[in-house]
Structure 1
């Protein structure tokens, strides 16, 4: 008698949404408030998802929840499923268009590496006649070339612009900033930390995308200085240093990963007081109309990011 195939777990998009939100927030109460449900509903949904999968997705502790190794692996699949579902809802009958042309799309290191490229790949499938060429450039160079017309469209951190009023901007995403520490750090179990707590440890700063300038602004606003500063141009080196307990840092959730390249755990903790969010978006010269290719990409990215395509 033939063996009947095993039935795969039947979880819902709602459960995946709750799980991804909780993974990002790090606390079930915060995640529940973010999507306007009760904490008990959030807890039950995730518990049921874990039962269906036959594994724990989170470690529970006093400070909130942390992804297990299995949870981290499942998060990648959950995000992919939600993204496909969202794309199907936004573009259910979208056919390939006859828009053509060449678009050199400038982007800073962080935006290109952590935000932009998946959207670029999808756009190129939907608009095969557009030759889209990604260009990685420093923020200051992008601003200058947008002003003098050498660049038509750019994706960058809008919160870092020196003269945003001189450009047309389209916000696309917002990302909060939190403290990164090793999973075994004494601050890892805290729900929130104060600047005086952070100042006792070496502070690690990446030297890309104005991160050092922004960090010094935070410290100056807090009226305190870190014990010492370590600079690095490598995000992987930064993660490894944090995971090894060699220092701490404050960066956005956009670039956060709970594991270093060597598989060591990293924990993100909320910081008391005001920390400006990272704002990602598009910028172009308000005096120069966008080409059809650039306009198509702007509208596509705005829809993909759930932000309005207004801003003319």
Structure 2
């Protein structure tokens, strides 16, 4: 049996005010309604949430833990109630530019969903590098773009980050660094390093390396993610790349493990960009709202 939002709200009000009588006044309901809701909630959860005292209602340890989750659930429900909704009747042609990494590892599943949600909308995709996308947005060749927003520097563009993909160290199975409690750039600098160059990965990498006293011992620079994957899996070097492009197996069937890096490594941010001040077309608005709502639903996770 699942608990209800009503029971959660009554529980939270009682926890905050410490007395059923005060919670009843605050919610404009009867005390018996709150008492019944709390008893039902405790039965569903199988734990006592309050200690009944002459002075009121004190949370138990289980109650304090559940209160944190109750806040999260109610906050996400409030967010969901504020979602934007777009008619499925949106039509026309949408020109979307995207970078290599985004097209390869993020966009396809969403384009398929968008085409089902908006059957009258034609989405045309163009793979370009960041500089070409920025120039194309300013020249109105593209309506909107999906790219690594962490690389955008043009002040004439508006951006909206959709997600951040954590960067971790890639190593082959049974690598000696897997035995260490913590691994930082100091330890990584002692290893042969495979430097990915596509989508300005090398530039992004050197930004955080330059903030440390260490430098990677680069043995190969390549634009191929599969080359990095294969080199790492075969024990020829290590790499720091995002979870989005990670796969646990190389094409040869060899294992690739990941390690959290103790030094600060910025996430790879993926999001939308368009010309600042431009009036988005109905198609572009639908595209943007889809991702905004997707973020809300992903964040809810309840």
Q: If the TM-score is normalised by the length of the shorter chain, which range does it land in?
A: 0.5 to 0.7
Preserved CA contact (<8 Å) 2:86 2:289: no
TM-score of the two chains, using structure 1 as the length reference: 0.65
Quote the offset at 1:287 in angstroms.
2.2
Q: Name 2:96's counterpart in structure 1.
A: 105
Q: Name 1:228's counterpart in structure 2.
A: 218
Provide the rounded CA distance (Å) in 1 between the counterparts of 2:274 and 2:127.
Answer: 16
The alignment status of 1:204 with 2:194, answered yes or no, reads yes
Question: Could you list the runs of 5+ residues in structure 2 that have no partner in the other structure?
Answer: 1-79
Quote the offset at 1:226 in angstroms.
2.0
Equivalent residue in structure 2 for 1:269, among 259, 267, 277: 259
Provide the rounded CA distance (Å) in 2 between the counterparts of 1:154 and 1:298.
Answer: 10
Quote the offset at 1:191 in angstroms.
4.2
Q: Name 1:293's counterpart in structure 2.
A: 283
Q: Name 1:74's counterpart in structure 2.
A: none
Preserved CA contact (<8 Å) 2:86 2:286: no
Preserved CA contact (<8 Å) 1:191 1:270: no
Provide the rounded CA distance (Å) in 2 between the counterparts of 1:278 and 1:302.
Answer: 18
Secondary structure in structure 1 of the residue aligned to 2:296: coil
Question: Could you list the runs of 5+ residues in structure 1 that have no partner in the other structure?
Answer: 1-88
Quote the offset at 1:208 in angstroms.
0.7
Runs (4+) off by over 3 Å: none
Secondary structure in structure 2 of the residue aligned to 1:120: helix
Quote the offset at 1:247 in angstroms.
0.5
Quote the offset at 1:201 in angstroms.
1.5
Provide the rounded CA distance (Å) in 2 between the counterparts of 1:284 and 1:228.
Answer: 35
Quote the offset at 1:114 in angstroms.
0.9
Cα 1:135–1:191 shift into 2, 3 Å: farther
TM-score of the two chains, using structure 2 as the length reference: 0.67
Q: Name 1:127's counterpart in structure 2.
A: 118
Provide the rounded CA distance (Å) in 2 between the counterparts of 1:137 and 1:208.
Answer: 11
Aligned length: 216
Please give the residue correspondences for 1:149-228 in structure 2 after superposition, counting only pairs within 5 Å. 149-163=140-154, 165-228=155-218
Q: Name 2:24's counterpart in structure 1.
A: none
The alignment status of 1:117 with 2:125, answered yes or no, reads no
Provide the rounded CA distance (Å) in 2 between the counterparts of 1:106 and 1:192.
Answer: 39
Provide the rounded CA distance (Å) in 2 between the counterparts of 1:292 and 1:95.
Answer: 9
Provide the rounded CA distance (Å) in 2 between the counterparts of 1:95 and 1:224.
Answer: 50
Provide the rounded CA distance (Å) in 2 between the counterparts of 1:190 and 1:111.
Answer: 33
Q: Name 2:128's counterpart in structure 1.
A: 137
Quote the offset at 1:162 in angstroms.
2.1
Larger Rg: 2
